Structure formats: C-alpha cells, structure tokens
Amino acid sequence: MTPPKTFPERCLHMVMFESLAVLTSAPIVAWAMGVPMAHAGALALMFSSVAMAWNMVFNMLFEKIEQRYQLIRTVVVRIAHATAFEFGLVVMLVPLAAWWLGVSMLDAFILDVGLILYFLPYTFLFNLIYDKVRARLMARRVRAV
C-alpha cells in the first residue's frame, strides 16, 4: 500500500484534476446550453472552485474510511468513490447553475445529470491513472533509498 497523500500532494492532485476538468467541460456546457464560451467558462470556473473544496474534504474523509476498513482501491471501490463524490456535487452545483444560467432548478438538474455522465468516467479514469503513476513514483523513491 502506498503512503497517505501529503497536503501539498492533495493540492497538486486537485489542481491537475480541476484544470483538466475546466478545459474539457466548458466547451461541452457552451454547446449544450447554447451560451457563449466565456459564460460557460465562468460557470466551469465556479463549479471548479466548489469542486476543489469538496475534493479536498471528500478525499480526506474517503481515505480515512479506506484506512479504517483496510479497503483496496478495486474497481468497485473506485466506482463508489466517483459516485459519492459526484452526488455531493449535485447538491451544491444545481442551485449555482440555475442562478448563473437563469434556468429552473429542473433544467439545472438536467444539465448536471449530463455533466455527471461526463464526470463519472472522467473521475474514474483520472484517479486510476493518477494512482498508477503515483505508485510507480513511490516505488522508485523506495528503491532509490
């Protein structure tokens, strides 16, 4: 098992995740909602700010659960992680989207469902790749010592 992430590493993980998320989701929102890219980009940045805070809190809590119950990051655990993370975001982001886009909560919820369909595999794949790269880097550090 690899050692727990440090605070600076959590920050790096979060910034990498959210930067790629903004760059890939803003064009999707602009196209789906028929709004200018700048408007969609601003919404993506707002979503990202909320998601970054949630990412830090959620991952710390999830890793404590992993340690307590000695969970291994199997596909099932990764799916549970991504699903729980996205559910928390729905609660926070639907009202923000409704306000920013001037649409009903239902329309904002439908937009969010579309984003979930995008972000579930994005979250899964990003963290899978991140964990594999991290494990290799940690193994190299151990061999170098």
Q: Cα–Cα distance between 21 and 29 in angstroms, integer?
A: 12
pLDDT of 60-74, one tens digit each?
999 999 999 999 989
Q: Is the dihedral of CA 72, 77, 78, 82 positive or negative?
A: negative
Whole-Å CA distances, 141 to 4, 136, 138: 15, 9, 5
Q: Give 72-115 pLDDT, tens digit per residue.
A: 989 999 889 988 988 898 999 999 999 999 999 999 999 999 98
Instruction: Give 122-145 pLDDT, tens digit per residue.
Output: 989 999 999 999 999 888 887 777
pLDDT at 1 over 70: no
28-57: average pLDDT: 91
Q: What is the dihedral angle through the alpha carbons of 33, 35, 41, 44, rounded to the nearest 10 degrees? A: -30
Residue 82: the pLDDT is: 85
The confidence score (pLDDT) of residue 119 equals 84
Cβ atoms 131, 73 nearer than 8 A = yes
pLDDT at res. 37 = 95
- What ranges do the domains of the chain cover? 7-138
CA gap 114, 22 in Å, rounded:
15
Q: Any residues with CB less than 8 A from the CB of 115 and at least 6 apart, and which? A: 25, 28, 29
Please give the pLDDT value at position 123. Answer: 86
pTM here is 0.72
Q: Which CA distances in Å does 40 have to 25, 92, 105?
A: 9, 17, 17
Structure tokens at 26: 């803003």
Categorize the per-residue pLDDT at 18 as very low, low, confident or very high, splitting at 50, 70 and 90.
Answer: confident
